[in-house]
Amino acid sequence: MYRTNTCGELNLKHAGAEVTLSGWVQRSRDLGGMTFIDLRDRYGITQLVFNMEADDALCKEARKLGRECVIQAVGRVRERSNKNLKIPTGEIEIEVNSLKVLNASILPPFTIEDETDGGDDLRMKFRYLDLRRNPMKNNMELRHRMAMEIRNYMDGQGFIEIETPAMIKSTPEGARDFVVPSRINPGQFYALPQSPQIFKQLLMIAGYDKYFQIVKCFRDEDLRADRQPEFTQIDCEMSFAGQDDVLNAFEGLTKHLFLRIKNMTFNGPFPRITFNDAMDRYGTDKPDIRFGMELTEITEYTRGRNFNVFDDAEYVGCICAENCASFSRKQIDQLTGFVKKPQIGARGLVYVKYNKDGTIKSSVDKFYDEAAIRKWIELSDGRPGDLLLILAGERVSTQGALSELRLEMGRQLGLINKDDYAPLWVIDFPLFEWDEETGRFYAKHHPFTSPKTEDISLLDTDPASVCANAYDLVINGVEIGGGSVRIHDKSLQQKMFEKLGFTDEQANEQFGFLMEAFRYGAPPHAGVAFGFDRWVAVFAGCYSIRDVIAFPKNNSGRDLMIDSPSALAPEQLKELRLKIDNRE
Amino acid sequence: MYRTNTCGELNLKHAGAEVTLSGWVQRSRDLGGMTFIDLRDRYGITQLVFNMEADDALCKEARKLGRECVIQAVGRVRERSNKNLKIPTGEIEIEVNSLKVLNASILPPFTIEDETDGGDDLRMKFRYLDLRRNPMKNNMELRHRMAMEIRNYMDGQGFIEIETPAMIKSTPEGARDFVVPSRINPGQFYALPQSPQIFKQLLMIAGYDKYFQIVKCFRDEDLRADRQPEFTQIDCEMSFAGQDDVLNAFEGLTKHLFLRIKNMTFNGPFPRITFNDAMDRYGTDKPDIRFGMELTEITEYTRGRNFNVFDDAEYVGCICAENCASFSRKQIDQLTGFVKKPQIGARGLVYVKYNKDGTIKSSVDKFYDEAAIRKWIELSDGRPGDLLLILAGERVSTQGALSELRLEMGRQLGLINKDDYAPLWVIDFPLFEWDEETGRFYAKHHPFTSPKTEDISLLDTDPASVCANAYDLVINGVEIGGGSVRIHDKSLQQKMFEKLGFTDEQANEQFGFLMEAFRYGAPPHAGVAFGFDRWVAVFAGCYSIRDVIAFPKNNSGRDLMIDSPSALAPEQLKELRLKIDNRE
């Protein structure tokens, strides 16, 4: 038996008890005739004490133990003279009478403390050491706790978790698939699922009216901080359900998680705003509504004053930063620099200072008289002391830039409380998205999303204006999940594929089995999928999903710890009937 | 709103209520002026009734509905005159006053009833229809319930579920990997995990002392009824734990599942028998101990009577079938045919009839006198009326054939109660397995399994006799899971790789990161993994794991429903820098 107790549970009630503990040496210090060792395991830290006077040999042995050594110590619990009330075990210590080194440790490449000196690459390469740190451990435990709460809540609501296959079929629509060559079907490949979308729809057709699954999904795309080639989705689908049923069901889940994980309650339903409103008011379809500073469009009040930048712009809009009229030239220049960064993409920033004394100062004074500028202020609900920040250009990209500027101002002004959570639903997304590059429509959500019934007639005449039964859950500016009411009618699905530029043959080859399934009594159904990694990251207060994944890959899709991907043995390639094509 | 209630919940208490139901037409029948429709959903069946007199048009509409149509019906709950007490809703029916067809259905390719007329291929191709059948639905619900119980039990025991990566590194040891080409690392591949073995060991090194995961695993091997290219494992690992800790912890899980799923309790610990005892007594390392009829070795009592078959045999053994002395010549011939089947592989069957009157009749009468034969009977605890069935040959294969014969006799004699469950642990497996073909040792469990401390010295002198800290859980003759105490010492792990024929270079290239990790304070650890599909199949009473997997693949690794695997588009191959090599 390696231990009678963990390092996180002993307290004064155990005083006098003989115990055995096992764990890692967190740190040790020698004070005169005494040696103190903080012994760590998953549950906490317990102080071991060795007394030179009582056992000279044992104490000397203890002094040899380096950080991260794994030891087993037997001893008696006693009250500590110098108590540490910050930790549950801080009132006691163990007077050790025997010690065993279970495994030694060489010096770790970085410090295993809450704040570490290890860089990203080093932490990834020695991930098993990084995972020993409290912040990582807390994230892993949070992730587990959230998964448990999700499953128990969904189960309690009558949902059934069904595993869908991980080796499916490649479809060129959407993001790139990872593929898996089949050895027993030479020249053929499976694909790893980007989502279980089609399978969950087939489960609805199979009659499992409330399905969920916490499931790995895969997407071969270029990576960034919140993307990983493999990620985890909370995948859900309901039959005989419309948009409200889904929103209500998963608002229930969301509130449950907030209650059980963050001890937060929300009164009344989450706000629901349409995609168009979100764009107009926040410049983004994933608004952070923890603070105001909404966008105001002033396009029509800027025309005809010979200021070409505004005259030529499809859209002129602003945000009103409270009490910022006193911003210095340098501060304004910094904001101008911010919006001109390539990833923001504005060409310049116009400001209006509505000074405390009621006077006005603007960078476009010479084009606009005071009345005109006061109109902008009025439209933005500006008060004396406020600063208007104005961007102009193509509508969507300028709204996007204003959104980024709004978030930047929110951060600078301390308007964003990181302990505050503001969930909302964004609804009524457009069905299609036009792609300039390929000159065709793509499905904004996916090709199985249904148009609003009243818009079906627009499919042929004005596809861009067709509204979808699609919705997203957004928390603090992060898209946590999204879904839609699905098409369950074969002819409508066919029409949808046609609008997306599929030939009948392509549609049949790729999705024929789904359309065939629609012929055997497909019920109306709708669903949603949440990004589990992102949700955990939002609850953990982490910027990157990497911090909530035990063994993530880096931006080149590499696992630095196991050094993967890697070359295959020639016999493996031969068995798979594959050759590497090195030509460009 | 599509429904106020499900088709499984209404009863007399609801009489008089106006309800809306949605579901599938299971069957309909016209009786005089009435039409009855059984409406089905996931929760049950409710009878709808239409009355020609009350509403002629509606009743005519109802008569047009074919099987598997999806409809919505509004009506009033009323007591049924002709009650069906076999189903919970059998005392009521719905007097329908309005009806809506939500989706039509063409005639399904097989009958959607508990007993179906669909063949395997048809059921696989239209899996979404097969899944509508009660036996399949019950299996899916059982699977979900078991997963929930497992997670809640493990969580309650302090285990934490951590997701390990699905895209890892290919290692030639063990079964074949499925691989995934990396687009951004051309010429390199990920592998899909055969198990999270190394990652869970790294999690132990990371300090997560109680880990579990219900996780998809992948193995590219030739398929049979209880094998699928992707399967689900309950993967578990513990630190500061030895064999007894693991066996006790997971005996707890097993008993919990038996209690919660099968309402069965077991008094006292499960039997634990050594691998050697299992082979001697049952001829297999996964014995079905629901019945006796154990093997008896009689080798030494068969020598020197000029019966070459026995004299030349390494092993002569028998089973004693109670009250079978009266077996006819034909019955004995059939058993002889059975043991001579290629998959059993015996060369013949010797019998001894110990007749009710005390006389003896044997097929080897002319070689052995009555005293010799009576000795065999005595060793086998035979009583008058019993039949001894004797096989001879190479030890292991003959024990295996006797094991099959024992199971066959158990079935024929009705000794196996399918509602009975007999779990046991098989322990003390050999560390290595010799492979004649390649002339080398393989790890019986896997290369990370520790030898018993007292056998370490035999690693160099007599590897075949080294006993491992390895164990299997067996239920009703099915290996549900297995595990081992792991090596946590770098030099012992190196020695193990050496014994398995790895060069230092190979060991470092494939498992260097693990051996490196052992240097930073690796705790003693041990674990186990269970085949979740098999466990569900055993609890469901299914022979094939396919019946407990929503979307399985067939024996050629094909998903007949989505028609996968399939060829890739040439651009996909090009992006991956791959060419198909069609040469033999």
Residue-wise pLDDT tens digits, A522-567: 999 999 999 999 999 999 999 899 999 999 999 899 999 999 999 9
Strand locations in A295-394 (E): 296-297, 315-321, 350-354, 360-362, 387-393
Compute CA distances B364 → A493, B295, B370, B389, whole Å.
Answer: 74, 19, 10, 12
Query: Does residue A282 belong to the interface with chain B, where contact is any CB pair within 8 Å?
Result: no
For residue A71, the cross-strand partners are: A23, A101
Is there a contact between B179 and A183 if contact means CB atoms under 8 Å apart? no
Residue B22 token pair = 């949605």
Query: Torsions phi, psi of B497, nearest 5?
Result: -60, -40
Distance from the A403 Cα atom to the nearest Cα atom in chain B, whole angstroms = 32
Residues on chain B touching A189 (C-beta within 8 angstroms): 565-568
Query: Torsions phi, psi of A520, nearest 5?
Result: -105, 40
Query: Does residue A69 belong to the interface with chain B, where contact is any CB pair within 8 Å?
Result: yes
Question: Which residue from A minimizes the CA distance to B5?
Answer: A240
| DSSP result, A126-194 | THHHHTTSHHHHHHHHHHHHHHHHHHHHHHHTT-EE-PPPSSB---SSSSPPPEEE-SSSTT-EEE--S
Eight-class DSSP state of A24: E
Mean residue pLDDT across chain A: 95
Q: Of all helices (H) and strands (E), which one includes residue A337?
A: helix A329-340
Residue of B180, B204, B248, B548 best to disrupt the A interface, most CBs of A under 10 A: B180
Confidence of residue A117 (pLDDT cuts 50, 70, 90): confident
What's the half-sphere exposure (Cβ side, CA atoms, 13 Å) at B188? 17
Is there a contact between A132 and B24 if contact means CB atoms under 8 Å apart? no
B positions 191-210 inside 8 Å of A (CB): 191-192, 198-199, 202-203, 205-210
Task: Write down the residue that tokens 């603070």 correspond to.
Answer: A291
Eight-class DSSP state of A3: -
Compute CA distances B337 → A265, B325, B330, B340, B345, whole Å.
Answer: 72, 18, 10, 5, 10
B positions 328-387 inside 8 Å of A (CB): none
Residue-wise pLDDT tens digits, A231-259: 999 999 999 999 999 999 999 999 999 99
Confidence of residue A79 (pLDDT cuts 50, 70, 90): very high
Domain boundaries, chain A: 12-103, 138-269+483-548, 291-416
Q: Report the amino acid identity of residue B376.
A: W
Residues in chain B with pLDDT < 50?
none
Residue B294 token pair = 């154990």
CATH 1.10.1740.110 for domain B12-103: no
What is the C-alpha to C-alpha distance for residues A482 and A474, in angstroms, rounded to an integer?
9
Distance from the A200 Cα atom to the nearest Cα atom in chain B, whole angstroms = 10
Of A167, A232, A521, the CB nearest to B69: A521
What is the C-alpha to C-alpha distance for residues A429 and A432, in angstroms, rounded to an integer?
9
Determine how β-strand A210-218 pairs with β-strand A160-161: parallel
Q: Are A569 and B173 in contact (CB under 8 A)?
A: no
What is the C-alpha to C-alpha distance for residues A151 and B12, in angstroms, rounded to an integer?
33
Q: Given this model, what pLDDT does residue A116 score? A: 85
In sign, the C-alpha dihedral spanning A234, A235, A236, A242 is positive
Mean pLDDT value across residues A491-506? 92
Q: Of A327, A315, A308, A306, which is closest to residue A369 (Cα–Cα)? A: A306
Asked if the peptide bond before residue B565 counts as cis, ω within 30 degrees of 0, the response is yes
What is the C-alpha to C-alpha distance for residues B337 and B367, in angstroms, rounded to an integer?
23
What's the half-sphere exposure (Cβ side, CA atoms, 13 Å) at A78? 13
What is the C-alpha to C-alpha distance for residues A475 and A355, in angstroms, rounded to an integer?
35
Same fold, A12-103 and A138-269+483-548: no
Q: Are A346 and A333 in contact (CB under 8 A)?
A: no
In sign, the C-alpha dihedral spanning A112, A115, A117, A119 is positive
What is the C-alpha to C-alpha distance for residues A403 and A213, in angstroms, rounded to an integer?
34
Neighbouring C-beta atoms of residue A48, cutoff 10 Å: 24
Residue A90 token pair = 């801080």
Helix, strand, coil fractions of chain B, as percent rounded to 5: 30, 25, 40
Residue-wise pLDDT tens digits, A153-181: 999 999 999 999 999 998 876 789 999 99
Determine how β-strand B92-103 pairs with β-strand B160-161: unpaired
Q: Which CATH architecture has domain A138-269+483-548?
A: 2-Layer Sandwich (3.30)
Is there a contact between A566 and B209 if contact means CB atoms under 8 Å apart? no
First to last CA, chain A: 60
The burial class, CB within 10 Å (0-12 / 13-18 / 19+), for B188 is buried
Q: Report the amino acid identity of residue A446.
A: H
Eight-class DSSP state of B24: E
Asked if the peptide bond before residue B181 counts as cis, ω within 30 degrees of 0, the response is no
Q: Given this model, what pLDDT does residue A439 score? A: 86
Q: Given this model, what pLDDT does residue A173 score? A: 67
What is the C-alpha to C-alpha distance for residues B7 and B30, in angstroms, rounded to an integer?
21
Residues in CB range of B438: below 8 A, 6 or more apart = none
Q: Are A250 and A272 in contact (CB under 8 A)?
A: no
The burial class, CB within 10 Å (0-12 / 13-18 / 19+), for A437 is exposed
Q: Are B429 and B552 in contact (CB under 8 A)?
A: no
Of A106, A172, A581, the CB nearest to B519: A106
Distance from the B417 Cα atom to the nearest Cα atom in chain A, whole angstroms = 30
- Does pLDDT of A193 surpass 80? yes
Helix, strand, coil fractions of chain A, as percent rounded to 5: 30, 25, 40
Q: Given this model, what pLDDT does residue A118 score? A: 81
A positions 122-181 inside 8 Å of B (CB): 126-129, 131-132, 137, 140-141, 143-144, 147-148, 151-152, 155, 160-170, 172, 176-181
B positions 505-564 inside 8 Å of A (CB): 513, 517-524, 549-551, 553, 556-559, 561-564
Of B3, B160, B232, the CB nearest to A140: B160
What is the C-alpha to C-alpha distance for residues A30 and A32, in angstroms, rounded to an integer?
6
Q: Given this model, what pLDDT does residue B584 score? A: 57
Is there a contact between A166 and B199 if contact means CB atoms under 8 Å apart? no
Q: Of B393, B395, B352, which is closest to residue B375 (Cα–Cα)? A: B352
Q: Of A299, A325, A436, A447, which is closest to residue A379 (Cα–Cα)? A: A299
Neighbouring C-beta atoms of residue B236, cutoff 10 Å: 25
Question: Which residue from B minimizes the CA distance to A65?
Answer: B521
Q: Report the amino acid identity of residue B248.
A: N
Is there a contact between B574 and A581 if contact means CB atoms under 8 Å apart? yes
What is the C-alpha to C-alpha distance for residues A178 and A194, in angstroms, rounded to an integer?
9
Residues on chain A touching B155 (C-beta within 8 angstroms): 144, 148
Strand locations in A219-278 (E): 230-239, 272-274
Q: Three-class SS string for B203-243?
A: HHHCCCCEEEEEEEEECCCCCCCCCCCEEEEEEEEEECCCH
A291-416 CATH pick, 3.40.50.300, 3.30.1360.30, 3.40.50.720, 3.30.720.200: 3.30.1360.30
Mean pLDDT value across residues A33-62? 95
What is the C-alpha to C-alpha distance for residues B47 and B19, in angstroms, rounded to an integer?
13
Distance from the B225 Cα atom to the nearest Cα atom in chain A, whole angstroms = 17
Residue-wise pLDDT tens digits, B296-351: 999 999 999 999 999 999 999 999 999 999 999 999 999 999 999 999 999 999 99
Query: Does residue A247 belong to the interface with chain B, where contact is any CB pair within 8 Å?
Result: no
Residues in CB range of A509: below 8 A, 6 or more apart = none
- Does residue A276 sit in helix, strand or coil? helix
Residue-wise pLDDT tens digits, A328-344: 999 999 999 999 999 99
Eight-class DSSP state of A69: -
Task: Write down the residue that tokens 């919970």 correspond to.
Answer: B88
Determine how β-strand B34-41 pairs with β-strand B18-31: antiparallel
What's the half-sphere exposure (Cβ side, CA atoms, 13 Å) at A319? 28
Question: Which residue from A minimizes the CA distance to B238?
Answer: A2
Question: Which residue from A minimizes the CA distance to B519?
Answer: A105
Residues on chain A touching B152 (C-beta within 8 angstroms): 148, 152
